[in-house]
Structure 1
C-alpha cells in the first residue's frame, strides 16, 4: 500500500509541488503498535495550508484505489521476504531487537513466545490469502475506508519560535534561581562534582581480559566440500534461523575495462 501511495505522486502530488515551488516532498507511513489501540499515520511535508484538504482527498482516493485494484502478488511476496529476513537475520543487535519486539505482544495481551514463530504466521497468511484473494482489500476497506476514527493534524512554522523558546528558558531560569534558598551549597556541590570528574579514574575496577582467559583451542566449523557442475562449492551448516547465505567469486578477467566501473553498482543490486 505504501508503494501505491507513492505511485500517485506523478498525477496528484506533482501539481502541489509545482504550486508550492518546492523541489520535492517527504512522506512517511508509520504503523503504531506500541499502544493497545494501534494507529496508522500518513504525513506529507512542505505543502501550503491551502493544499491540506486536497492531500486528505488524495489519501482517501488512494485507499479507494487499493480496495478496487488490490495488490500485485509480486509486491506481497517481496514484502513478506523483506519482513522475514528483517526478523530472522542475525546481526550485532539481534537479541536486543527480539526482546524489544516482544513488548508489542505483551501490550496486546498475547503470548510473547508465540510471536517468535515467524514462519508459522507467514504460512498462515499465505493460506488465508489463497482462500480469500480479497483479504488485504477487505482489511483496507474495514480499517481505513469504513473507519471514522481519524485525526487530521497540521503543523505550521512559527517564525518567532526560537525567540519565544529563548525567552521562556530565561524566565524559567530566573524563577528557579529566585526560589533557590541555599545558593552557596549548590555552588560548593558543583565544585566538588567538577573535582571528582577531573580526577584520574581507577582502572582497577574495570573488567579486564588477559591472554590466559583465551582458549588456545580453535573452534573449527565443519565444512562439506562439493561440486555443482564444474563449480566447486563449500557447505557449512549454521543456526541461521532457516536463512541460507550465499557467497561466490566472479571471474571478471574477460570483462571489458569500460564495464568494470559498473561492478560496484552490479554487486549492490545483486545483493539487495
Structure 2
C-alpha cells in the first residue's frame, strides 16, 4: 500500500512540476511579446519622427554650408551649420577658394564659412572667411593668362559645346516644326543654357552667383572663361539679360526669344 501511495505522490509531483513549468513558459512568452511590442513601438516612433523630419526638411532650403535639423524644443525644422564633413582624400574633390586656399571639399569650405558667420570659435576666422566661396574645382594652382586669340574664339567653342549638350537633353526647334534654319539650331542651345542658369525666381536675369555652376568647373581648364563672362555684362550691373547673353555668343536681339517656360517644363517632365 505504501508502495502505491509513493507512486501516486511522485506522479502528482511530476504533474505539478509540469504545470508550473508550463505557466513559467507562458509568462516568459508573454514578457517577450511585451518587450517586442515595446521595441516595435519605440522603433515605429523613431521612424515616424524621422519621416516628420524628412517631410519638414523637404520644404526647407538651406544655404551652402548648412543642413536641416529638427529643433529639440519647438519640434520644427531649421537650418544650422553642418556638424561634420566627411574626410576627403580624393584630390579631384578638392576646391580652391577665392582667397587662393585649397580645401578638402566644398563641404569643408562652406562649413567653415558658416561657422565664421555664426560666430563659432575658430582660430582662423576673419572677415574674409565670412565672404569666402569656391573659385574653381581642384587644387589651387597658377592659372594661365587668357590669350587674346583664345578669348576671340571662345564664343564659337561655347556655342558648339552647348549645342552638343542640348542635343542630348532637349528637343531643339529644327526645320521640321517651325521652318527655322537648321544651321541656327545653336540659338536654342544658348537660350536653353541661359534658362538653365536663371534659377528661382526665374527673373530672366543671370547674376554673378548664378554663373558659378558654369564658371567654377571650367576655370582651371579654360583660362578665358572669366574674361568671357565678364564681357557678357557690358554695363557691369552684375546681371546678364537674355539679350546680353545672346550678343555675347554671337546671336542677334531678334533671335533671342524667351523660351524658358518651355525648357523648364521639359526639365520638370
User: If the length of structure 2 is used for normalisation, what is the TM-score?
Assistant: 0.19
User: If the length of structure 1 is used for normalisation, what is the TM-score?
Assistant: 0.19
Higher relative contact order (CA 8 A, sep 6+): 1
Q: Whose Rg is larger?
A: 2
